[in-house]
Amino acid sequence: MKSTKTAGLPLHDHTQGTFVDRSLPAEDIMYDAMLNRDSNYEGIFIVAVKTTGIFCRVKCPARKPKRENVEFYPDVKQAMLNGYRPCKRCRPLEQVGNPPEEIFKLLEILGKMEVPRLSDAEVRKQGIDPAWVRRWFKQNHGITFQGWLRAMRVSLAYDLIKQGSSVTASAFDAGYESFSGFASAWGNHIKSTPRSSNKTNVIRITRISTPLGPMLAGATDAGICLLDFVDRRALNSQLSQVRKALRAELLYADHEHFSQLRKELADYFRGESTEFNVSLDVHGTDFQKSVWNVLREIPFGQTRSYREQAERIGKSGAVRAVANANGANRVSIIIPCHRVIGSDGSLTGYGGGLERKRYLLDHEQAVVSMKEPAP
């Protein structure tokens, strides 16, 4: 029995933001972030080098220029309007984490296949170096190209078995030539055996690019259970917690929920939408869920304090507990913990970094302003 789902291939994410006038960090802070290639500032500003006439993203691996030879802009549009051209090495016009043309070409080929399989020899026939492809996948997805393809096939077999196909038939329909090879590949991704897969929960994970840097997304059949920036220090802890909460294994593969999530994130960053409708599958204590529900009630473009949040759940004395629950949120942006600030109006802690929080708030307020009717 064939699966009705595709093997699941990530596409270009076209989530370029709606760039608006906004304040930048202090120039000394931006210069230090550039020197340290600090990914927390990805999308916050663009670096322009006077001596070369080139502009770069924060994490450009090229040699770092002297302070007096650098200018900073909020986005690529402003850099280009001031006469700078994009760096060919860090490709600042491309979305962070989006595949370059060579990778996209391979994804298009795979998208036409019922089973995702592409040998190094076949990659080479396309005029693309398999070693370069391997490095790109390892750098951008934490897994080699062939490892990614194996995970896709395991995911396909898992779906077939869940739909009622026999283990043996699922193995061959997923492109495996022997059951032993299938069992070995399965064991590398899922701890249980294929025959006990009906009792096994799986969280599909993938990376989604955004103007603020790549995010790691997780999905069950019920909905999105994880969305966080890949450079967040607590990400491994978040992964462990969601695995424990759902008693599930992690599998690098696509899911139909990711298609909707990619589109809604793209619409959000382009300023075309102010809400998310993708299904969620969040797990936590009753108190945490009450805090997360109230977070989703904060109107787009507005903020609340932790104290106001505590009052809304009827626990005015639980301000610190509310702050901790905010920090435990595993679905960033959609459950908008970035909209909570200090009682004095200051930006308080945010797992993705304060500059990202500032960007999100500025972005939302600008979108609201643009949508307001002229007086």
Q: Residue 143 maps to which CATH number? A: 1.10.10.60
Specify whether 314 is located in the same domain as 196: no
Q: What is the pLDDT along the chain (375 residues), one digit of tens a residue?
A: 333 333 344 434 444 554 445 578 888 889 998 998 887 788 888 899 989 888 898 888 877 889 999 999 888 878 877 778 888 888 787 655 566 778 888 888 887 777 788 889 999 999 999 999 888 888 767 778 888 888 878 888 877 777 777 777 777 777 776 777 777 777 777 766 666 666 668 888 888 888 888 888 999 999 999 999 888 877 888 888 888 888 888 888 788 899 899 999 989 988 889 999 999 999 999 999 999 999 999 999 999 999 999 999 998 888 899 999 998 999 999 999 999 998 888 888 788 888 889 889 988 988 888 776 655
Domain for residue 248, yes or no? yes
Given 51, 86, 121, which residue is the final one in a domain? Answer: 86
Specify whether 126 is located in the same domain as 53: no
The residue range of the domain holding 355 is 284-368
Specify whether 217 is located in the same domain as 356: no
pLDDT of residue 1: 37
pLDDT of residue 275: 92
Specify whether 324 is located in the same domain as 184: no
Q: Are 315 and 322 in contact (CB under 8 A)?
A: yes
State the pTM of this model.
0.70
pLDDT of residue 7: 39
Domain for residue 60, yes or no? yes
Specify whether 209 is located in the same domain as 348: no
Given 38, 53, 86, which residue is the final one in a domain? Answer: 86
pLDDT of residue 95: 58
Domain for residue 196, yes or no? yes
What's the domain count of the chain?
A: 3
Catalytic residues: 56, 337
Specify whether 164 is located in the same domain as 65: no
pLDDT of residue 11: 39
- What's the CATH number where 352 sits? 1.10.10.10
Specify whether 156 is located in the same domain as 179: yes
Specify whether 242 is located in the same domain as 349: no
pLDDT of residue 70: 92
pLDDT of residue 288: 94
What's the 3-state SS for the chain?
CCCCCCCCCCCCCCCCCCCCCCCCCCHHHHHHHHHCCCHHHCCCCEEEECCCCEEECCCCCCCCCCHHHEEEECCHHHHHHCCCEECCCCCCCCCCCCCCHHHHHHHHHHHCCCCCCCCHHHHHHCCCCHHHHHHHHHHHHCCCHHHHHHHHHHHHHHHHHHCCCCHHHHHHHCCCCCHHHHHHHHHHHCCCCHHHHHHCEEEEEEEECCCCCCEEEEEECCEEEEEEECCCCCHHHHHHHHHHHHCEEEEECCCHHHHHHHHHHHHHHCCCCCCCCCCECCCCCHHHHHHHHHHCCCCCCCCEEHHHHHHHCCCCCCHHHHHHHHHCCCECCCCCHHHEECCCCCCCCCCCCHHHHHHHHHHHHHHHHHHCCCC
Domain for residue 124, yes or no? yes
pLDDT of residue 287: 94
Domain for residue 3, yes or no? no
Residue range 85-138, pLDDT digits in tens? 888 888 787 655 566 778 888 888 887 777 788 889 999 999 999 999 888 888
Specify whether 213 is located in the same domain as 125: yes
Specify whether 76 is located in the same domain as 107: no
Q: Are 300 and 275 in contact (CB under 8 A)?
A: yes
Domain for residue 279, yes or no? no
- What distance in Å separates the CA atoms of residue 61 and residue 113, rounded to the nearest whole number? 36
Specify whether 241 is located in the same domain as 130: yes
Specify whether 126 is located in the same domain as 195: yes
Domain for residue 267, yes or no? no
